[in-house]
Amino acid sequence: MTTEDYYDEKSTTYDALFKMLYYRIYDTITWKYLEPYLPKSPGAVVLDAAGGTGRWTIRMAQTGCKVVLIDNSEGMLKAAAKKTKTEGLQDRIVVRKADITKTDYPDEAFDLVLCEHALFLFKNPTVLLKEFRRILKKQATLIISAQNRYFMSLSSISGKPSHDNLERACELLLNREHHCLSENGQVNVYTWTPDEFRTMLQEAGFRVEKIIGKVVTMPLRIRKEIYARSDYPQDLYDKILEFELAMCERPDALGLAGHFQAIARKI
C-alpha cells in the first residue's frame, strides 16, 4: 500500500477523526501557534503542503489569506475541493495535485508554508525542506510538525508491558523508521527527537524561532476510552487544554509531547 492509496482509502472518513477529544486539543494548539503567523498583506499567498481534505486551508482562507493546497491523494483533493465550494472560498483557494518535494512553483513564491502532520511520511526530509526553502520568500515562515520518537517508543508499552512490547519499544527508540499506517507494514512512519528536529531545520537553512510540544496528556496518561470520545464534558476539555498550554512552550518538556510544531524562518 502506498501513502497515496492509504489516504485515498481514508479520504471519505478522514475528517471524522478530528471530532475526538484528542484531536480537538491537538487542533486548538496547532491553530494557536499558526494563526499569529498568517500573512496579513492582501497579495500574500500561503502553501498548505500535503493539505489533505483542506482542514487548515479552509480555516486560513476564512481569515482572508489566499491559499494553495497541494496533495498527492485524489480522494483528499476531491474532499478539499468540495469543502472549498461549500464554503464559497473558490476565489481564495487553489487545490491541485502535486508532489510537495518538487512543487514546480518559482523561487520565493510563498509568504508562508504550512506542513502539518506530513513530515513523518518522508524518509529523506532534506529534499522536502530544501524545496520549502526555495519557494519561501526571504525571512518568510515555515510551520511544520513532526512525530516524537520518545513518545512513540513509550506508547508501545503503555498499560501493557510485556517482553514483545518492550522489545518493540527499544526498536522504536533506536530507529527513526517504523511501520504504523498499514497492517502489512508497507507504509513507513519516520520520527525525530527534539534535538534532531531542530538540527534538521537549522541545517536546511532555517532559523528556528520556537518549537512547541503538542499533546503530552494523551494517549500515555489519559485512557483511550476517554480521549477517543467525541462526546465529552466541556470542563474536561477546558482543564486538559489549560494543562497542555502550560506545558507546550517549556523546552525541557518537549520530550513528553506526542508531536512537535516548529516555527522557523528562512535565512
Task: Note the pLDDT of residue 145.
Answer: 98
Calculate the average pLDDT of the chain: 92
Q: How confident is the model at residue 179 (pLDDT cuts 50, 70, 90)?
A: low
Instruction: Please compute, for residue 86, the number of CA atoms within 13 A of its CA located in the half-sphere on the CB side.
Output: 9
pLDDT at 180 over 60: no
Instruction: Enumerate the domain spans of the chain.
Output: 3-266
| CA–CA distance, 78 with 69 (Å, rounded to integer) | 12
Query: Of 58-62, 144-148, 189-193, which range is least confident?
Result: 189-193
| Nearest one of 61, 205, 213 to 126, comparing CA atoms | 205
| Residue 55 pLDDT > 60 | yes
The whole-angstrom separation of Cα 259 and Cα 194 is 10
Helix (H, G, I), strand (E, B) or coil at 118: coil
The DSSP-derived string for 178-232 is: EE-SSTTS-SEEE-B-HHHHHHHHHHTTEEEEEEEEE-SSTTTTS-HHHHT-SS-
Neighbours of 17 (CB within 10 A): 12
The larger pLDDT score, comparing residue 238 to residue 9, is at 238
Among candidate residues 241, 249, 176, 174, the one with its CA nearest the CA of residue 211 = 249
Q: What pLDDT, on a 0 to 100 scale, did the predictor assign at position 27? A: 98
Q: Where residue 182 falls among pLDDT bands split at 50, 70, 90?
A: very low
Per-residue pLDDT at 186 exceeds 80: no
What single letter denotes the amino acid at residue 139?
A: Q
Residue 181 has pLDDT above 70, yes or no: no
Section 25-30 average pLDDT: 98
Q: Do strands 206-214 and 188-190 pair parallel, antiparallel, or not at all (unpaired)?
A: unpaired
Mean pLDDT across 175-188:
58
Does domain 3-266 fall under CATH 3.40.50.150? My reply is yes
CA dist., res. 147 & res. 145, Å (int)? 7
DSSP per-residue codes, 36-97: GGS--STT-EEEEET-TT-HHHHHHHHTT-EEEEEES-HHHHHHHHHHHHHTT-TTTEEEEE
Torsion of Cα atoms, 51 then 52 then 58 then 64, to 10°: 20
- pLDDT > 70? residue 30: yes
- Confidence tier at 4 by pLDDT (50, 70, 90): confident
In the Cβ-directed half-sphere of 33, how many Cα atoms lie within 13 Å? Answer: 24
Indicate whether 36 pLDDT > 90: yes
Which sign, positive or negative, has the C-alpha torsion 151, 1, 224, 13?
positive
CB 249 within 8 A of CB 209: no
